[in-house]
């Protein structure tokens, strides 16, 4: 099995916790690491690796050949080419939060499966989109890889919008008392402090700064 690194390993753990996955889909799969791992570790009966470009699909096929497992590979922009395939869990990892939200927005399939999302940026935009559009965030995991903090969001469509505060957008509602989350909160704090002087709403930014400071109290940010 491949060493996925902290970021993708946390995504894998989120997938593993769901259990009972018939078909897993890796949207924007690149090397197809996650697609292969869920098959190698027996977490899904079938896996689909998709990407918008043929190059990453070729790399994924090469990697799969080395592992001995056989995900299905399809050329697709998001879920666009999935037709009527039944999906139990889909992962969208390594994309910006706005792009991720756009993929979910235009897909009916995203409302029928669990979503494991690892946004590289605009995490607050993605959380807001999910809560405003009937998706429940049922879990958040945090990882630090090469000194950079990441969040992995697990969500499911419920049809009910979720109320939230301004700090919730940036920190989530699930805030574990561990070093990985402390590193994430420290990054959010740094961004908030830099934007305070030019902020259109100094009160909300100040509220976020106070919440970040409260969260990292007595926690030691992790180096890796």
User: What is the rounded distance in angstroms from the CA atom of residue 175 to the CA atom of residue 141?
Assistant: 9
Per-residue pLDDT, 214: 87
- How many residues are recorded in the chain? 224
User: What is the rounded distance in angstroms from the CA atom of residue 129 to the CA atom of residue 100?
Assistant: 10
In the chain, which ranges are continuous DSSP H helix? Answer: 5-18, 33-40, 54-67, 97-105, 123-132, 166-171, 179-195, 202-216
User: What is the rounded distance in angstroms from the CA atom of residue 192 to the CA atom of residue 195?
Assistant: 5
Residues 81 and 114 reside in one and the same domain: yes
Residues 207 and 138 reside in one and the same domain: no
User: What is the rounded distance in angstroms from the CA atom of residue 172 to the CA atom of residue 140?
Assistant: 8
CATH number at residue 119: 3.40.50.150
Per-residue pLDDT, 144: 96
Per-residue pLDDT, 222: 62
Helix, coil or strand: residue 68: coil
Residues 42 and 147 reside in one and the same domain: yes
Question: Rg (Cα) of the chain, in Å, rounded?
Answer: 18
Range of the domain at 217: 165-224
Q: Which residues of the chain have pLDDT under 70?
A: 1-2, 196-202, 218-224
- Summary mean pLDDT of the chain: 91
Find tokens 């939060």 and name the residue. Answer: 97
Are 153 and 127 in contact, with CB atoms under 8 Å apart? yes
Q: What is the percent of the chain where pLDDT is above 70?
A: 93
Helix axes 33-40, 54-67, angle to 10 degrees: 30
Find, among 28, 43, 158, the residue nearest to 102 by Cα.
28
Residues 184 and 76 reside in one and the same domain: no
Find, among 15, 135, 140, 33, the residue nearest to 87 by Cα.
15
Among the candidates 127, 146, 164, a domain finishes at: 164
Domain count, the chain: 2
In 46-165, which ranges are continuous DSSP H helix? Answer: 54-67, 97-105, 123-132
Among the candidates 124, 143, 164, a domain finishes at: 164
Residues 55 and 156 reside in one and the same domain: yes
Among the candidates 164, 195, 212, a domain finishes at: 164
Residues 142 and 179 reside in one and the same domain: no
Residues 159 and 170 reside in one and the same domain: no
Residues 46 and 156 reside in one and the same domain: yes
Residues 91 and 187 reside in one and the same domain: no
Per-residue pLDDT, 20: 86
Residues 29 and 125 reside in one and the same domain: yes
Per-residue pLDDT, 183: 95
Residues 197 and 114 reside in one and the same domain: no
């Amino acid at each position: 099995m491949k060493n996925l690194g902290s970021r993708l390993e946390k995504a894998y753990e989120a997938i593993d916790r769901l259990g009972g996955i018939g078909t897993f889909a890796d949207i924007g799969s690149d090397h197809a690491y996650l697609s292969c791992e869920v098959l190698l570790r027996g977490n899904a009966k079938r896996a689909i690796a998709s990407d918008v470009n043929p190059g990453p699909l070729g790399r994924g096929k090469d990697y799969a050949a080395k592992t001995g497992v056989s995900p299905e590979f399809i050329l697709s922009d998001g879920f666009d080419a999935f037709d009527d395939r039944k999906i139990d869990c889909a992962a969208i990892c390594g994309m910006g939060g706005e792009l991720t939200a756009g993929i979910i927005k235009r897909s009916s399939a995203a409302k029928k499966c669990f979503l494991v999302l690892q946004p590289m940026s605009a995490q607050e935009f993605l959380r807001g989109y999910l809560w405003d559009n009937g998706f429940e965030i049922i879990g958040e995991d945090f990882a630090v890889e090469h000194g950079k903090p990441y969040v992995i969001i697990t969500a499911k469509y419920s049809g009910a919008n979720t109320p939230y505060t301004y700090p919730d957008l940036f920190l989530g509602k699930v805030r574990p008392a561990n070093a990985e989350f402390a590193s994430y909160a420290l990054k959010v704090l740094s961004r908030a402090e830099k934007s305070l002087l030019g902020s259109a709403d100094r009160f909300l930014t100040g509220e976020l700064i106070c919440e970040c400071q409260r969260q990292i109290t007595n926690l030691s940010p992790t180096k890796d």
